[in-house]
Amino acid sequence: MGLIPYENEKYQDWSDARAQEKMRGALSTVGEALGRSYPLIIGGKRVETDAEIASLDPSEPSRVVGRVGRATEREADMALETATQAFGSWSRTAPEARARIMLRAAGIMRRRKFELLAWEVYEGGKPWSEADAQVAEAIDFLEYYAREMLRLKDGVPIYSIPGEESRYFYQPMGAGVIIAPWNFPTAILTGMASAALVAGNTVVMKPSEFTPITGAIVAEIFEEAGVPDGVMNYLPGYGSEVGDYLVSDARTRFISFTGSMRTGLRINELAARQVKNQRWIKRVIAEMGGKDAMIIDDSADLDSAAADIVKSAYGYSGQKCSAASRAILHADVYDEVLNMVVERARALKIGAPAGAEGGADVNVGPVISEPQFEKVSGYIDVGKEEGERVLGEDPGDPKNGYFVPPTIYAGVEPGAKIAQEEIFGPVLSVIRACDFDDALKIANDNPYGLTGGVYSKNREHLERARHEFKAGNVYFNRGITGALVGVQPFGGLGLSGTDSKAGGPDYLPLHMLARTVVERF
């Protein structure tokens, strides 16, 4: 296949009036489509269920974005059986043909980009720039994994001895379960599913119950791109009702999951148990969150450091597993950096991204749901006992939207609850370190290990962090969110996951079985 070299999808220039006009138009068009129902998709057929799940706009919880079917174990069984039966023909489909379907899906997403952005705004409460970045990421996954499949389709070189031919190649695994999160419902669902599909597997896609409409749109795009009936099955439902069934079933060959540590550990435990008729060890590909830290030493560019702390802490209201939730500041620059961070965070605009007063200049939208609102509010209460609140106030009535203002606690001890547990909201703990050794020790004293950052002009400090900072993605002198597919492969250490680097050269083989075949002549 002749393809142009891979490059990342460009972001919108939101200072351009034409881009703003297109976005307003998309919000209007999608706004007229709110409230519709979306059934399950199993074997290419729309399957109605006895109950539905209502998806709400987190900026305006009284507004129903849409309704989706609510799968039970009966529908989960149908989806797994359908995916298992479809595996035979799909796994024999030429890798080039599978790659073309992914490339076509990328083209469809480009053409429907502003529509996808609008769904993200309504269902996820995302500011425009955040929605734009993750739809671009979804397109990048499709483009990148298509090219990766073409790179790997004939295997990889190994040595042979005289008189023999040795080949090392990959083949598809089987039917897999894709369990996607709500914070990146287009990008992560597309990325996990496309990697599995282009590798020749079939999938059951379970989106989050908080963003199932976006999942339905992604499923429609895969269909339109030419994924055959039964190869991709769309199964919205509550994890408590179908999650264990999908993970535990003997037909499930692998599980690709992004979400909380607790759920990820449960999936890993269930998948490790052999059940009747199971003839393999299930593979779990998991990304499970983080408690990410940025270290600022006494040689750093403090203005840039403060700007990137705020960007990393409050982008999408801190609802990113890569978000900076700990700022570890050298004692000599502590007060100065803290003041700069407070002032920059205070200037952020909070609002409903789709509202009349919204627009491209909204920086902080709502958190995703009432349970998440209550969780973050609880941590804000805890923080009052563990630090000095130097920015923020108690959240208001969730009936008016799940808005939590940017919050900063200063003087937080490294072992405090708000400095150790993943909050997944716009709450930053600021910690004082006496020197760089102390800062690195504080950063590493946590069970997670997803992202981390160091701001420094000291080469010795940077080289130490390169090898000693216990995180899967470490960034120097920049923000710690917004990993680009193919440029910054993403995945964590420790209890942040299985170190599966999404958007990297090792990711696709996780969805395939390696074979060695030797022939003597």
Long-range contacts of the stretch 381-384 (C-beta < 8 A, 24+): 382/417, 382/418, 383/407, 383/409, 383/412, 383/418, 383/427, 383/429
Model pLDDT for residues 207-237, shown as the tens digit of each residue: 999 999 999 999 999 999 999 999 999 999 9
Backbone angles phi, psi at 254, to 5 degrees: -150, 160
Contact by Cβ (8 Å): 164, 149: no
Q: What is the C-alpha to C-alpha distance for residues 198 and 102, in angstroms, rounded to an integer?
A: 7
Q: How far is CA 2 from CA 22, 99, 142, 201, 222, in A?
A: 32, 12, 16, 24, 22
**CA angle, 365 then 429 then 59, to 5°:** 10
Residue appearing with tokens 């209460």: 381
89, two tokens: 């023909």
The one catalytic residue in 120, 130, 137, 321 is 321
Q: Give the CA dihedral 141, 144, 146, 152, nearest 10 degrees.
A: -130
pLDDT at 399: 96
Provide the pLDDT for residue 356.
73
Quick one: pLDDT at residue 1? 75
pTM above 0.75, yes or no: yes
Residue 223 is a catalytic residue: no
Residue 516 — pLDDT band, cuts 50, 70, 90? very high
Which tens digit of pLDDT belongs to each residue from 318-372? Answer: 999 999 999 999 999 999 999 999 999 999 999 999 987 778 999 999 999 999 9
With contact defined as beta carbons under 8 Å apart, do 119 and 134 qualify?
no
For 439-475, the pLDDT digits (tens) are 999 999 999 999 999 999 999 999 999 999 999 999 9
Length of the chain equals 521
The pLDDT tens digits of the residues spanning 381-439 come to 999 999 999 999 999 999 999 999 999 999 999 999 999 999 999 999 999 999 999 99
φ and ψ of 336, to 5 deg: -65, -45
Query: Can you point out the beta strands (E) in 116-235?
Result: 164-172, 175-179, 202-206, 232-234
Contacts of 63 (CB under 8 A, 6+ apart): 34, 56, 57, 122
In this prediction, residue 155 has a pLDDT band, given cuts at 50, 70 and 90, of very high
Q: What is the 3-state secondary structure (H, E, C) of 249-301?
A: CCCCCEEEEECCHHHHHHHHHHHHCCCCCCCCCCEEEEECCCCEEEEECCCCC
CA distance 320 to 289: 8
- Residue 499 has a pLDDT of 83
| Average pLDDT score over the chain | 97
Neighbours of 350 (CB within 10 A): 18
**Is 385 one of the catalytic residues?**
no
Report d(CA 277, CA 271) in Å as an integer. 14
Q: What is the pLDDT of residue 446?
A: 96
Sign of CA dihedral 474, 476, 477, 483: negative
In the predicted structure, residue 298 carries a pLDDT above the cut 80? yes
Radius of gyration of the chain (CA): 23
Question: Residue 2: what pLDDT?
Answer: 83
pLDDT tens per residue, range 36-81: 999 999 999 999 999 999 999 999 999 999 999 999 999 999 999 9
Q: Cα–Cα distance between 420 and 269 in angstroms, integer?
A: 24
Give the model's pLDDT for residue 358: 75
Report the C-alpha gap between 146 and 161 in whole angstroms. 33
Set 115, 120, 287, 386: catalytic member = 287
Domains in the chain (CATH in brackets) are: 18-288+500-520 (3.40.605.10), 292-483 (3.40.309.10)
